[in-house]
Structure 1
Amino acid sequence: MDSDELKLAAGSYSRRVAEPEAEEDQSPPSIRGRDITLTLRLLSGREVHISINEDATMAELRRYIEKTLALPAHLTRLYLGQDQVNSGYDSTLAQAGIEDEGVLTVVSVASEEFEEVTLEGFGQQLLPARLRKVKLSGACAFWRHYTFRDALLGDKISIRCVKQAFSDEEWAGNLVKEIYLLQHFKHENILKLLDVPPAFEDFNDICIMVEHMDIDLASVLRSSQELTEEHCQYLTYQILRALSYMHSAGVIHHQLKPRVVMVNKNCHVKLTDFLDALPANAVHFDDGDHNRWYRAPELILNQDWTALKLSGACDAWSVGCILAEMYRRKPLLPSRDAITHVQSILKLLGAPREEEREWVTNQKARDFVAGCTLPTSGPDAWTASLGASEAAQDLLRRLVVFDPRRRCTCQEALQESYFQDWSDPEERQLDRSAEPVDWAHLESVTSRDKQRQYVRQECHRRHPEFFEPKT
């Protein structure tokens, strides 16, 4: 979706995030027809009577049946007499031949039909027959993104594909981690894994099905879309909720930036891209020099993760940078390399006191920080030029803090007055993972053979009718 198509009108979104997000019915209530009565008859002989508007679409009927009978829409077939109802998602009941006091036989099937689909730039892939390709929506260094539409419900679905996924052991390990984490996470602000379609016998390519989101936050920030204080609050609130949940599961995102914050028209947020996620307290990891503009100072200056534990503080820093960018409409700390990045941080915040830099154990790094005498307007003055409320400035001064030990956590940030209109005790209960991620299991999937077997077993778990896993 192009950035100029996204319209985040203040007040047009609800506090709660709907799962999944349905295509909205744009017709005015005044033109809706009368309610009609239908009988849903199951093969067991059970009958359920429902009332639904005669102008409802087939998608609305299928959702109603799914909710009433607790039967997944994609595994449900509807019959009028001996004829299966195959009308499209946007067909009205009348167009589908369904009338008042009609009887629909509801048949639940064990598995859905798949068919081979040719994906541009990727090749052949088995996908559910109910999906209709819309377009190739993008490509990056790792994934090719395709948009499909569910012919039963009308929802858009994203297909992410990787060719030669197992050609590199490290890359394959990150893919396994992405799939594992996506299916472990159960939070409304984290992208949902919908399926891992069955793979061919000697597969080397991977496809996954995930929720469709309209656009990423980086595209919004580059656009002419106005962001009000309310927008900034709601977007940041959801990012922090997702991170708070991840941290409770022992997962550090580690590469948070606007590009991995997905947004839809109703301002609902989903975090994605967990290829570089790390376990809390990780000691050995290759941090590289990625995502520099949003990287916390400890990810650049610290070389001893036994003394300073890796924590969610680095994600909290990134949130602060993103929030400041929402007000500035340009990055807070652009830099060309690690050295100029640290210099930009010190110019923004001022030179840290001795006790604020004692966590920097590398002597060369400590001398560099201590020797930086860059002009600054003061540690707190930088927030005044943002045009943000005092509550926003207070939050930024707690997130963008040089010393990670003094930086507020994502959970603490949610309690700030900036979010007083959004904070909900019931939601806070949902921001804790039921169980931590089993990093030991992930770390045991090391060789390419094990990585391929893991994905194959995941396909088998979801689609046992296609193939048996290799032993």
Structure 2
Amino acid sequence: MALGYTHSTIAAAIQNPSQHILAQNRLAAFSYQQDSSFYGLLAKQQQHSPHAFIDQPTSTPRAPQQDHPIGYGAFGVVWSVYDPRDNVQKALKKMSHVFQSLVSCKRVIRELKMLTSFEHDNVLSALEILPPTGHSSFHEIYVLTDLFQSDLHKIIVSAQPLTADHVKLFLYQILRGLKYLHSARVIHRDIKPGNLLVNSNCQLRICDFGLARVEELDVHQPMTQEVVTQYYRCPELLMGTNHYSYEIDIWSVGCIFAELLSRRILFQASSPLKQLDLITNLLGTPSLSDVRTCAPGAIRHVMKGAKKQQALATLYSLSPAATHEAVHLMCQMLIFDPAKRITAVDALTHPYLEEGRMRYHSCMCNCCQTTPANGGHKVLHRSDVALEPDCAEPFSYHFENDLNSLSKAKEKLSDIVYRNMNHSVPLTINPRSAVYKKFSSSTVAQASELPPSPHVWE
């Protein structure tokens, strides 16, 4: 896997047939709208070709790839789809059952607001939100984004070699994107390898904001513990804390850091209780001060029996690339007390990431590089740019205060869709597509496929 702008073979090397169900017929799930009406459909454009153009492009269109599902989770299904406007494969996320409850509707609105407001090279944003095909179909939302060929999970479990340079480059981009999100006062709450998209040039973006929320400043306001995939869940969540902040994302990054080095999940347990036991096996028994915000039953659980000693030296055995600097940074992420856990800002200043920063900004970033109009390699054009920029302003969630009914929430969603119909030729779902039935029936993950719920402490 090459770095920078040298061609890479990531996508081919990591293909997993079981995760890529190819459609039997080559037809896209998109068609053009003839006008800008909210519910417009152009069935006429399908008479001769499933990829009919209103205006033929000036360049010769390439043969589109088959549209096919590439992932799904608790809140949505993602397909690789062909955009006939520019002949490019993109990602289409379908959010189903949007109006099932006011809570689910607010979650979707929050995610859409984030996807349409974030602007950062290492954070996924929406290219477009597709309008529904009619009033009866407005129970689903479709979001178009850039397509990334892979994600860190697929890379980690593949036979694709990962060098120390790859690890540094990926970790730098994760923390760079996380610094931006945290500066916007957003806690992601589900940082895991599968939510870190990677393309063939090793560029990485954080995706899936289905669980993300704004920081809760009131420490007495309870927050849900139904967040973060279990393997990447921090001790305070496992131990029933009612309030948490950005530190839960940093713990997840520490787990991913170790996984990149060893190609194995650091804390892989079958239940939340066993997950906590694995953590104490590595970090040792915490002090009472370290777990002061946790549930009393959880504190008794970790304190019972003989006191466990730290075994952090075992981190050096993760990989030959687990150098002193690597382990030092990892240990600052994997700390019981969230108040002592390193921040994304401070982690980015760690010596371990110097090479990753230099490589990223020498040939990959858009902040201090530009691509000439005639193509070719990127060239340096700025020296005074902020290498790890913050969000211009905190993410605002005050719109949620007015969403006290499903009708108001539906009105707000309609407004978001309208405001993001900024393309001169908008797209709509094409019901004549050969994969339309498969697309429309694709569902989110079932309860049996989701991580175990948090343990209920006394």
TM-score by length of 2: 0.69
Q: Distance in 1 between matches of 2:110 and 2:274?
A: 32
CA displacement 1:162-216 (0-9 Å, x = unmatched): 3432223322222111111111111110112001122234122211111111112
Q: Distance in 2 between matches of 1:466 and 1:165?
A: 26
Distance 1:447 1:419, change over 3 A: same
- Structure 2 residue aligned with 1:225: 160
Q: Which amino acid aligns with 2:410?
A: R
- Structure 2 residue aligned with 1:138: 70
Distance 1:429 1:9, change over 3 A: closer
User: 1:335: Cα distance to partner?
Assistant: 1.3
User: 1:372: Cα distance to partner?
Assistant: 4.9
Distance 1:449 1:339, change over 3 A: same
2:226 is equivalent to residue 288 of structure 1: yes
- Structure 2 residue aligned with 1:438: 396
User: 1:374: Cα distance to partner?
Assistant: 6.7
2:159 is equivalent to residue 166 of structure 1: no
Q: Distance in 2 between matches of 1:237 and 1:372?
A: 39
Q: Which amino acid aligns with 1:368?
A: H
- Structure 2 residue aligned with 1:72: none
Name the SS of the counterpart of 2:412 in structure 1: helix
Native 8 Å contact 1:351 1:372 kept in 2:
no
Q: Distance in 2 between matches of 1:292 and 1:164?
A: 25
Native 8 Å contact 2:225 2:240 kept in 1:
no
Q: 1:30-429 maps to which residues of 2 (within 5 A)? A: 134-140=66-72, 141-202=74-135, 203-281=138-216, 283-288=221-226, 291-305=229-243, 310-360=244-294, 362-373=295-306, 378-387=310-319, 388-423=322-357, 428=386
User: 1:128: Cα distance to partner?
Assistant: 9.5
Structure 2 unaligned segments of length 5 or more: list them: 8-34, 44-49, 359-382, 427-458
Higher RCO (Cα < 8 Å, 6 or more apart): 2
Count residues with an aligned counterpart: 351
Q: Which amino acid aligns with 1:279?
A: V
Native 8 Å contact 1:215 1:263 kept in 2:
yes
Distance 1:220 1:245, change over 3 A: same
From the CA coordinates, give the structure whose radius of gyration is larger: 1
Name the SS of the counterpart of 2:289 in structure 1: helix
User: 1:9: Cα distance to partner?
Assistant: 2.1
Q: Which amino acid aligns with 2:180?
A: Y
Name the SS of the counterpart of 1:173 in structure 2: helix
Distance 1:205 1:336, change over 3 A: same
Native 8 Å contact 2:4 2:201 kept in 1:
no
Structure 1 unaligned segments of length 5 or more: list them: 1-7, 15-108, 118-123
Q: Which amino acid aligns with 2:222?
A: H
TM-score by length of 1: 0.68
Q: Which amino acid aligns with 1:135?
A: D
Native 8 Å contact 2:110 2:397 kept in 1:
no
RMSD across aligned positions (CA): 3.2
Q: Distance in 1 between matches of 2:333 and 2:185?
A: 20
Distance 1:455 1:238, change over 3 A: same
